[in-house]
Protein backbone atom coordinates (compact mmCIF):
# COMPACT_ATOMS: atom_id res chain seq x y z
CA UNK A 1 0.00 0.00 0.00
CA UNK A 2 1.27 3.46 -0.91
CA UNK A 3 1.00 6.97 0.42
CA UNK A 4 -0.48 9.06 -2.39
CA UNK A 5 -0.79 12.86 -2.36
CA UNK A 6 -3.74 14.09 -4.44
CA UNK A 7 -3.94 17.79 -5.35
CA UNK A 8 -7.12 19.03 -7.07
CA UNK A 9 -10.33 17.30 -5.96
CA UNK A 10 -12.85 18.81 -8.37
CA UNK A 11 -15.29 17.05 -10.70
CA UNK A 12 -12.60 14.62 -11.84
CA UNK A 13 -10.15 14.51 -8.91
CA UNK A 14 -12.82 13.62 -6.33
CA UNK A 15 -13.75 10.32 -7.98
CA UNK A 16 -10.13 9.50 -8.86
CA UNK A 17 -8.92 10.04 -5.27
CA UNK A 18 -11.82 7.96 -3.93
CA UNK A 19 -10.73 5.04 -6.12
CA UNK A 20 -7.21 5.21 -4.69
CA UNK A 21 -8.75 5.03 -1.18
CA UNK A 22 -10.86 2.02 -2.26
CA UNK A 23 -7.70 0.31 -3.49
CA UNK A 24 -6.34 0.53 0.06
CA UNK A 25 -3.90 3.43 -0.32
CA UNK A 26 -3.49 6.30 2.12
CA UNK A 27 -4.54 9.41 0.18
CA UNK A 28 -3.28 12.76 1.48
CA UNK A 29 -5.59 15.26 -0.19
CA UNK A 30 -5.56 19.00 -0.81
CA UNK A 31 -7.76 21.45 -2.71
CA UNK A 32 -8.08 25.23 -2.42
CA UNK A 33 -11.85 24.70 -2.16
CA UNK A 34 -12.91 23.71 1.36
CA UNK A 35 -16.06 22.07 0.00
CA UNK A 36 -14.02 19.88 -2.36
CA UNK A 37 -11.59 18.95 0.42
CA UNK A 38 -14.30 18.02 2.92
CA UNK A 39 -16.05 15.89 0.28
CA UNK A 40 -12.76 14.02 -0.26
CA UNK A 41 -12.31 13.55 3.49
CA UNK A 42 -15.85 12.14 3.58
CA UNK A 43 -14.70 9.59 0.99
CA UNK A 44 -11.81 8.43 3.18
CA UNK A 45 -8.96 10.78 2.18
CA UNK A 46 -6.76 12.40 4.82
CA UNK A 47 -7.15 16.19 4.52
CA UNK A 48 -4.00 18.32 4.38
CA UNK A 49 -3.66 22.02 5.21
CA UNK A 50 -1.66 22.75 2.04
CA UNK A 51 -0.33 21.04 -1.06
CA UNK A 52 3.13 21.19 0.52
CA UNK A 53 1.86 19.27 3.56
CA UNK A 54 0.12 16.69 1.36
CA UNK A 55 3.23 15.88 -0.69
CA UNK A 56 5.63 15.50 2.26
CA UNK A 57 6.22 11.75 2.80
CA UNK A 58 4.12 10.75 -0.24
CA UNK A 59 5.56 8.11 -2.60
CA UNK A 60 3.22 9.09 -5.43
CA UNK A 61 1.88 12.59 -6.15
CA UNK A 62 -1.10 13.09 -8.48
CA UNK A 63 -2.31 16.53 -9.61
CA UNK A 64 -5.71 17.12 -11.28
CA UNK A 65 -5.89 20.88 -11.82
CA UNK A 66 -7.74 23.17 -14.27
CA UNK A 67 -5.02 24.46 -16.63
CA UNK A 68 -1.30 24.94 -17.36
CA UNK A 69 -0.79 27.96 -15.12
CA UNK A 70 -2.18 26.10 -12.10
CA UNK A 71 0.05 23.10 -12.76
CA UNK A 72 3.18 25.24 -13.24
CA UNK A 73 2.49 27.16 -10.00
CA UNK A 74 1.64 24.12 -7.86
CA UNK A 75 4.76 22.25 -8.99
CA UNK A 76 7.10 25.25 -8.61
CA UNK A 77 5.80 26.43 -5.24
CA UNK A 78 4.49 23.31 -3.50
CA UNK A 79 5.43 19.99 -5.06
CA UNK A 80 9.07 20.30 -6.15
CA UNK A 81 10.35 22.08 -3.01
CA UNK A 82 8.57 19.72 -0.58
CA UNK A 83 8.27 16.26 -2.19
CA UNK A 84 10.34 13.36 -0.89
CA UNK A 85 13.34 12.41 -3.04
CA UNK A 86 12.31 9.52 -5.29
CA UNK A 87 8.61 10.44 -5.36
CA UNK A 88 6.75 9.65 -8.58
CA UNK A 89 5.00 12.77 -9.94
CA UNK A 90 1.94 12.38 -12.21
CA UNK A 91 -0.03 15.30 -13.64
CA UNK A 92 -3.40 14.08 -14.97
CA UNK A 93 -4.75 17.57 -15.85
CA UNK A 94 -5.34 18.54 -19.49
CA UNK A 95 -2.81 21.32 -20.16
CA UNK A 96 -0.67 22.73 -22.98
CA UNK A 97 2.23 20.63 -24.21
CA UNK A 98 4.74 23.40 -23.44
CA UNK A 99 3.78 23.58 -19.75
CA UNK A 100 3.91 19.78 -19.47
CA UNK A 101 7.43 19.73 -20.92
CA UNK A 102 8.54 22.66 -18.74
CA UNK A 103 7.31 21.00 -15.54
CA UNK A 104 8.85 17.67 -16.60
CA UNK A 105 12.21 19.40 -17.09
CA UNK A 106 12.06 21.08 -13.68
CA UNK A 107 11.04 17.82 -12.00
CA UNK A 108 13.85 15.85 -13.64
CA UNK A 109 16.44 18.51 -12.81
CA UNK A 110 15.54 17.90 -9.15
CA UNK A 111 15.81 14.12 -9.59
CA UNK A 112 12.09 13.28 -9.71
CA UNK A 113 10.34 10.96 -12.16
CA UNK A 114 7.45 12.75 -13.92
CA UNK A 115 4.58 11.86 -16.25
CA UNK A 116 1.98 13.95 -18.04
CA UNK A 117 -1.04 11.64 -17.98
CA UNK A 118 -4.25 13.34 -19.16
CA UNK A 119 -7.43 11.28 -19.25
CA UNK A 120 -10.43 10.47 -21.37
CA UNK A 121 -13.66 9.16 -19.87
CA UNK A 122 -15.18 12.14 -18.07
CA UNK A 123 -16.61 12.27 -14.56
CA UNK A 124 -18.39 8.92 -15.00
CA UNK A 125 -15.04 7.29 -15.81
CA UNK A 126 -13.39 9.07 -12.87
CA UNK A 127 -16.02 7.71 -10.48
CA UNK A 128 -16.04 4.20 -11.93
CA UNK A 129 -12.24 3.93 -12.14
CA UNK A 130 -12.43 3.36 -15.90
CA UNK A 131 -10.46 6.32 -17.29
CA UNK A 132 -8.16 6.00 -20.30
CA UNK A 133 -4.76 7.55 -19.47
CA UNK A 134 -2.43 8.79 -22.24
CA UNK A 135 1.05 9.05 -20.81
CA UNK A 136 4.16 11.04 -21.68
CA UNK A 137 7.12 9.70 -19.70
CA UNK A 138 10.51 7.99 -19.79
CA UNK A 139 10.07 4.44 -21.02
CA UNK A 140 11.83 3.08 -17.93
CA UNK A 141 9.28 4.77 -15.64
CA UNK A 142 6.15 3.53 -17.43
CA UNK A 143 5.61 0.28 -15.48
CA UNK A 144 5.53 2.14 -12.14
CA UNK A 145 3.25 4.83 -13.59
CA UNK A 146 0.85 2.24 -15.00
CA UNK A 147 0.69 0.52 -11.62
CA UNK A 148 0.09 3.83 -9.79
CA UNK A 149 -2.79 4.68 -12.17
CA UNK A 150 -4.38 1.20 -12.10
CA UNK A 151 -7.12 1.90 -9.49
CA UNK A 152 -8.35 4.80 -11.64
CA UNK A 153 -8.00 3.31 -15.10
CA UNK A 154 -9.46 1.01 -17.73
CA UNK A 155 -6.48 1.44 -20.02
CA UNK A 156 -3.11 3.23 -19.80
CA UNK A 157 -1.13 3.83 -22.96
CA UNK A 158 2.35 5.36 -23.21
CA UNK A 159 2.18 8.00 -25.97
CA UNK A 160 5.90 8.81 -25.91
CA UNK A 161 8.30 11.12 -24.07
CA UNK A 162 7.24 14.06 -21.86
CA UNK A 163 4.45 16.12 -23.45
CA UNK A 164 3.29 13.27 -25.68
CA UNK A 165 0.38 12.46 -23.36
CA UNK A 166 -0.92 16.02 -23.70
CA UNK A 167 -0.32 15.93 -27.46
CA UNK A 168 -2.42 12.74 -27.73
CA UNK A 169 -5.20 14.27 -25.63
CA UNK A 170 -5.55 17.50 -27.65
CA UNK A 171 -5.33 15.67 -31.00
CA UNK A 172 -8.03 13.22 -29.85
CA UNK A 173 -10.31 15.97 -28.58
CA UNK A 174 -9.85 18.12 -31.69
CA UNK A 175 -10.96 15.10 -33.73
CA UNK A 176 -13.90 14.56 -31.37
CA UNK A 177 -15.02 18.22 -31.56
CA UNK A 178 -14.88 18.20 -35.35
CA UNK A 179 -16.68 14.87 -35.69
CA UNK A 180 -19.47 15.92 -33.31
CA UNK A 181 -20.17 19.07 -35.36
CA UNK A 182 -20.24 16.93 -38.52
CA UNK A 183 -22.73 14.51 -36.98
CA UNK A 184 -24.93 17.39 -35.77
CA UNK A 185 -24.90 19.06 -39.19
CA UNK A 186 -25.92 15.77 -40.79
CA UNK A 187 -28.89 15.39 -38.41
CA UNK A 188 -29.91 19.03 -39.01
CA UNK A 189 -29.78 18.51 -42.79
CA UNK A 190 -31.63 15.17 -42.61
CA UNK A 191 -34.44 16.89 -40.70
CA UNK A 192 -34.76 19.63 -43.35
CA UNK A 193 -34.88 16.94 -46.05
CA UNK A 194 -37.75 15.15 -44.22
CA UNK A 195 -35.54 12.16 -43.48
CA UNK A 196 -36.55 10.65 -40.10
CA UNK A 197 -33.63 10.92 -37.61
CA UNK A 198 -34.11 7.27 -36.56
CA UNK A 199 -33.76 6.10 -40.18
CA UNK A 200 -30.74 8.34 -40.78
CA UNK A 201 -29.14 6.97 -37.60
CA UNK A 202 -29.84 3.37 -38.64
CA UNK A 203 -28.35 3.93 -42.09
CA UNK A 204 -25.33 6.09 -41.19
CA UNK A 205 -24.43 3.74 -38.30
CA UNK A 206 -23.90 1.00 -40.90
CA UNK A 207 -22.41 3.22 -43.59
CA UNK A 208 -19.21 5.18 -44.08
CA UNK A 209 -20.40 8.06 -41.86
CA UNK A 210 -20.20 5.82 -38.79
CA UNK A 211 -18.13 7.28 -35.92
CA UNK A 212 -18.10 7.42 -32.10
CA UNK A 213 -19.95 10.77 -31.99
CA UNK A 214 -22.80 9.10 -33.90
CA UNK A 215 -23.06 5.59 -32.52
CA UNK A 216 -21.88 6.01 -28.90
CA UNK A 217 -22.90 9.59 -28.20
CA UNK A 218 -25.71 10.42 -30.64
CA UNK A 219 -26.66 14.12 -30.28
CA UNK A 220 -30.26 13.43 -31.37
CA UNK A 221 -32.31 12.26 -28.34
CA UNK A 222 -33.78 8.77 -28.18
CA UNK A 223 -31.13 6.96 -30.21
CA UNK A 224 -28.39 5.97 -27.72
CA UNK A 225 -29.64 5.39 -24.15
CA UNK A 226 -26.51 6.59 -22.36
CA UNK A 227 -25.97 9.75 -24.46
CA UNK A 228 -26.37 13.16 -22.72
CA UNK A 229 -28.91 14.12 -25.44
CA UNK A 230 -31.35 11.92 -23.48
CA UNK A 231 -30.75 13.95 -20.30
CA UNK A 232 -31.40 17.34 -21.90
CA UNK A 233 -27.62 17.58 -22.54
CA UNK A 234 -26.82 17.77 -18.82
CA UNK A 235 -23.68 16.12 -17.41
CA UNK A 236 -21.35 14.59 -19.98
CA UNK A 237 -18.51 16.73 -21.35
CA UNK A 238 -19.22 20.45 -21.05
CA UNK A 239 -18.94 22.72 -24.09
CA UNK A 240 -16.61 25.01 -22.07
CA UNK A 241 -14.23 22.05 -21.55
CA UNK A 242 -14.33 21.16 -25.24
CA UNK A 243 -13.63 24.79 -26.08
CA UNK A 244 -10.61 24.79 -23.74
CA UNK A 245 -9.20 21.69 -25.46
CA UNK A 246 -9.83 23.13 -28.96
CA UNK A 247 -7.97 26.30 -27.95
CA UNK A 248 -5.05 24.20 -26.71
CA UNK A 249 -5.04 22.37 -30.05
CA UNK A 250 -5.00 25.64 -32.03
CA UNK A 251 -2.23 27.12 -29.88
CA UNK A 252 -0.18 23.97 -30.34
CA UNK A 253 -0.89 23.95 -34.10
CA UNK A 254 0.22 27.60 -34.43
CA UNK A 255 3.47 26.94 -32.55
CA UNK A 256 4.20 23.72 -34.43
CA UNK A 257 3.20 25.10 -37.86
CA UNK A 258 0.49 22.45 -38.40
CA UNK A 259 -2.51 23.10 -40.69
CA UNK A 260 -5.73 22.44 -38.77
CA UNK A 261 -8.44 24.48 -40.55
CA UNK A 262 -11.32 22.29 -39.35
CA UNK A 263 -9.98 22.47 -35.78
CA UNK A 264 -10.05 26.28 -36.07
CA UNK A 265 -13.63 26.17 -37.38
CA UNK A 266 -14.66 23.84 -34.56
CA UNK A 267 -13.17 26.25 -32.02
CA UNK A 268 -15.08 29.18 -33.57
CA UNK A 269 -18.36 27.22 -33.59
CA UNK A 270 -18.00 26.11 -29.96
CA UNK A 271 -16.97 29.67 -28.94
CA UNK A 272 -20.20 30.96 -30.51
CA UNK A 273 -22.29 28.35 -28.70
CA UNK A 274 -20.50 29.20 -25.44
CA UNK A 275 -21.29 32.93 -25.93
CA UNK A 276 -24.94 32.03 -26.54
CA UNK A 277 -25.01 30.43 -23.09
CA UNK A 278 -24.21 26.80 -23.91
CA UNK A 279 -20.92 26.56 -21.99
CA UNK A 280 -22.31 24.35 -19.23
CA UNK A 281 -24.17 21.95 -21.52
CA UNK A 282 -22.75 18.79 -23.04
CA UNK A 283 -20.85 19.50 -26.27
CA UNK A 284 -23.36 17.45 -28.31
CA UNK A 285 -25.96 20.17 -27.59
CA UNK A 286 -24.37 22.11 -30.47
CA UNK A 287 -27.16 20.37 -32.44
CA UNK A 288 -29.65 22.76 -30.84
CA UNK A 289 -27.76 25.78 -32.18
CA UNK A 290 -27.58 24.25 -35.66
CA UNK A 291 -31.34 23.60 -35.56
CA UNK A 292 -31.91 27.26 -34.62
CA UNK A 293 -33.33 26.34 -31.20
CA UNK A 294 -31.27 28.93 -29.30
**Please, is 193 exposed, middle or buried when counting C-beta atoms within 10 Å of its C-beta (0-12, 13-18, 19+)?**
exposed
In whole angstroms, what is the distance from residue 241 CA to residue 145 CA?
A: 26
In whole angstroms, what is the distance from residue 52 CA to residue 107 CA?
A: 15
Q: Which of 23, 32, 262, 264 binds ligand NAD (CB under 6 A)?
A: 32
Piece in contact with ligand NAD (CB under 6 A), picked from 8-16, 149-157, 208-216, 268-276: 8-16
Nearest-approach distance from CB 67 to ligand NAD, in angstroms: 6
Nearest-approach distance from CB 192 to ligand NAD, in angstroms: 32
Piece in contact with ligand NAD (CB under 6 A), picked from 31-39, 99-107, 109-117, 141-149: 31-39
Q: Which of 19, 20, 93, 153 binds ligand NAD (CB under 6 A)?
A: 93
Nearer to ligand NAD, 123 or 265 (CB): 123
Main-chain phi, psi angles of 131, to 5 degrees? -70, 155
Q: Which of 20, 43, 94, 284 binds ligand NAD (CB under 6 A)?
A: 94
Task: Report the run of H or E that residue 91 belongs to, with start and end.
Answer: strand 88-91
Q: Which one, of 82, 81, 79, 83, lies nearest residue 93 by Cα? A: 79
Q: Which residues contact 278 (CB under 8 A, 6 or more apart)?
A: 239, 285, 286, 288, 289, 294
Piece in contact with ligand NAD (CB under 6 A), picked from 52-60, 116-124, 151-159, 250-258: 116-124
Among candidate residues 110, 169, 247, 255, the one labeled active-site is: 169
Residues 232-271 that bind ligand NAD (CB under 6 A): 237, 241, 244
Alpha helix positions (H), 217-284: 239-256, 261-273
Q: Is 122 in the site for ligand NAD (CB under 6 A)?
A: yes
Q: Is 7 in the site for ligand NAD (CB under 6 A)?
A: yes
Q: Is 12 in the site for ligand NAD (CB under 6 A)?
A: yes
84-101 per-residue burial string, b: 16 or more CB within 10 A, e: under 16: eeebbbbbbbbbbbebbb
Piece in contact with ligand NAD (CB under 6 A), picked from 2-10, 190-198, 218-226, 274-282: 2-10
Q: Is 74 in the site for ligand NAD (CB under 6 A)?
A: yes
- Say if CB 103 and CB 75 are below 8 A apart: yes
Q: Which of 5, 54, 58, 64 binds ligand NAD (CB under 6 A)?
A: 64
Q: Is 192 a catalytic residue?
A: no
Nearer to ligand NAD, 12 or 188 (CB): 12
Q: Which of 2, 11, 26, 172 binds ligand NAD (CB under 6 A)?
A: 11
In whole angstroms, what is the distance from residue 103 CA to residue 100 CA?
A: 5
Q: Is 47 in the site for ligand NAD (CB under 6 A)?
A: no
Main-chain phi, psi angles of 282, to 5 degrees? -55, 150
Alpha helix positions (H), 110-238: 122-128, 142-149, 164-192, 197-205, 212-215
In whole angstroms, what is the distance from residue 246 CA to residue 262 CA?
A: 11
Site residues for ligand NAD per CB under 6 A: 7-13, 30-33, 36, 51, 64-66, 70, 74, 93-94, 119, 122-123, 237, 241, 244
Query: Which residues are marked as active site?
Result: 169
Amino acid sequence: MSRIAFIGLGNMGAGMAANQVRAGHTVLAFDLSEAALSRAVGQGCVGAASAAEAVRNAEIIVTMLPAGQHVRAVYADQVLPHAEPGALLIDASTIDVESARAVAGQAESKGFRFADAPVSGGTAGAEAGTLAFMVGCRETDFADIEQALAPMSRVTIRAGEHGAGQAAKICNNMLLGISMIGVCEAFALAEKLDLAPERFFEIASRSSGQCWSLTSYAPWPGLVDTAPSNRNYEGGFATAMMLKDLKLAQEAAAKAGASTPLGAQAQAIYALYDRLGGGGRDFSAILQMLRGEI
